[in-house]
Amino acid sequence: MSIYNESNDGARSTDDVAATNQFDYASFGECTSYVSRADWEGTFPKERAAASREASAAALDAINNTSNSLVDAAEDIAVVGHGLKIEDMKGLAYDDPKWNDFLEQIPVSEMVTLISNGGWATQEVPSVGKLGYTEMDGSNGVNNIMAGSTGNQFCAQSVLACSWNTALAYDMGKTFAQEAVAMKIAALYAPAMNIHRSPFSGRNYEYYSADGLHSGKMAAAETQSIQSQGVTTYCKHFAVNDQESNRDSGGLLTWVNKQAMREIYIKPFELTVKEGGSRGIMSSFNRIGEICAAENADLLTIVLRDEWGFRGTVITDCILQLSYVNIDRAIAAGNDLILSLMNIQSPSEALTKSPAGHQVLRSATHNILLCLCEQRGSGSQRHPCALRTLHLRWHR
C-alpha cells in the first residue's frame, strides 16, 4: 500500500506536491480515528456524534476574528506600460515571464473594479484591452436570473448521474455550452457537485450523487465538453456545502474529518480539476470548521492550487448581502473574484492602499485573466460574448 506523503512515497502522480493535512481544525477535536478496511469492525463508528455542542472560546475567537491576514510586502507593485494586450497572452503558461510585464500595465483602480464586480459578468480592463463578458448560472441549463431569461433546462444532475454514463454527460455539456455561446455567455456557474449527504438537502437536484468518485467522473466529463466550446466552468460549491438550511446565516459551521473531506467531499472537485481541466471554481457560503470557505487558504491555495495544480479563477458564491465574509481575507486566501455588483462587496483600504494589498490584488487579477484568455473570443475585438447591456441594468 502506498502512503503519499514526504516521509513515504511522496506525491501522487496527479499532484504537484505531496499532500499534507490541512483540516485538523474542521473536526471539532473529534473524528480523529479513521475508518480502515484493514480493521473495519474496530474502526467503524459505533455511535452518532452529539446533536449539539457548545462552542469553545477558541472557536468563538476564530469566528469573530476581523484581521485581514495580509503579510507585509517589502515593495509595492510597479505600473508601467509595455504595449501588451489580452490577446497577446492567449496560450501562455501561468508562470511565463511575459505575464509580469502584462500585469504591470493594470492600475489598482482597474484591478479593484474587476475583482469586486464579478456578479454574472467580468468587467472590462481598458489598460489591456479586455472587454466585459457575461457569465450565467447553471447547473441544469442557462438561467439568467438578472435578465430573467433562461435556456433549455436539461434533466437534473442527479438524474444524469443515475445513467452512470460519462459519454452522455459529455454530450449534455456540449449542448449546454453551445446554447450558452448562442446566448452570448462566456462562462457558466456549473456544474454543481456537492454530496447527497441527506436526501432532504434543498439542492440535491443539481448535485450528482452521494459518492465522491461517481460525482467527480460525471462532472469531469461535463466540464471537458463545456470548455471544449470555449465556455468556462465555475464548478461549485467548494466545499462541503451539503446543507441549504442556514447556509448563509453567519456561515454555517461544517464539521468534518480530513479522511471524509478528501475521500468524499472534495473528491469531485479534485477529479474535475485534474481530469476535467476546469478553469473556474466557486467557493461556498459555509465555514469549514470556523473558517469561511471563501477565506480558507488551506482549501483554495494549498490543496486546490499547490497540490492539485489548478490554474484559473476562484469566485465566491453570491455574497451581495452577506456581512460575515471578509473580502480582504478572501482575496488573500486565493478567492480571486467576488460575485457581487456595484462595488457592494469591495476590498478595504488595507488592500487598495498598501504594498501587500497591491500584491494580493495583482495575484487575483493574474488568476482571473489567465482563465479569461482561454474563453471563446478572448481578444480585444468585440465578439459574441462581449458584455453589452448587463452592467447598465445594475445602475437602473
Cα separation, 284 vs 294, whole angstroms? 6
287-288 and 291-292: which strand pairing?
antiparallel
Cβ neighbour number for residue 11 with a 10 Å cutoff? 14
Residue of 384, 380, 372, 382 whose CA lies nearest to 181: 384
For 181, the grid coordinates are: 455561446
For 109, the grid coordinates are: 483602480
- For residue range 117-165, list pLDDT tens digits in order: 999 999 999 999 999 999 999 899 998 877 677 899 999 999 999 999 9
Which pairs count as long-range contacts for 95-101, CB under 8 Å and 24+ apart, including other chains?
99/366, 99/370
313-315 and 280-283: which strand pairing?
parallel
DSSP reduced 3-state for 122: strand
Distances (CA, A) of 207 to 216, 230, 276, 328: 11, 23, 17, 30
Please tell me what DSSP assigns to residue 25.
Answer: G
* 309 φ, ψ (degrees, to nearest 5): 80, 20
Is the sign of the CA dihedral 200, 201, 202, 206 positive or negative?
negative
* 313 φ, ψ (degrees, to nearest 5): -110, 135
For 160, the grid coordinates are: 444524469
**H/E segment holding residue 149:** strand 149-150
- CB distance 207 to 194 below 8 Å: yes
Cα separation, 126 vs 284, whole angstroms? 30
Cα separation, 188 vs 224, whole angstroms? 13
Cα separation, 154 vs 225, whole angstroms? 15
The set of residues, in sequence order, having a beta carbon less than 8 Å from that of 330 and lying 6+ positions away, is 283, 292, 294, 295, 316, 338
Q: What pLDDT score was predicted for residue 50?
A: 76
What amino acid positions are annotated as catalytic residues? 317
DSSP reduced 3-state for 2: coil
Cα separation, 256 vs 260, whole angstroms? 7
Cα separation, 150 vs 129, whole angstroms? 30
**H/E segment holding residue 20:** none
Q: What is the pLDDT along the chain (396 residues), one digit of tens a residue?
A: 556 777 777 889 999 999 988 998 888 777 667 788 889 888 888 888 777 778 888 888 888 888 877 777 778 999 999 999 999 999 999 999 999 999 999 999 999 999 999 999 999 999 999 999 999 998 999 988 776 778 999 999 999 999 999 999 999 999 999 999 999 999 999 999 999 998 888 899 999 999 999 999 999 999 999 999 999 999 999 999 988 887 777 778 888 988 899 999 999 999 999 999 999 999 999 999 999 999 999 999 999 999 999 999 999 999 887 778 999 999 999 999 999 998 888 999 999 999 999 999 999 999 999 999 877 655 444 444 554 433 333 333
Please tell me what DSSP assigns to residue 230.
Answer: T
Count of CA atoms in the C-beta half-sphere (13 A) of 320: 7
For 266, the grid coordinates are: 472534495
Distances (CA, A) of 143 to 50, 66, 119, 148, 185: 40, 35, 14, 8, 11
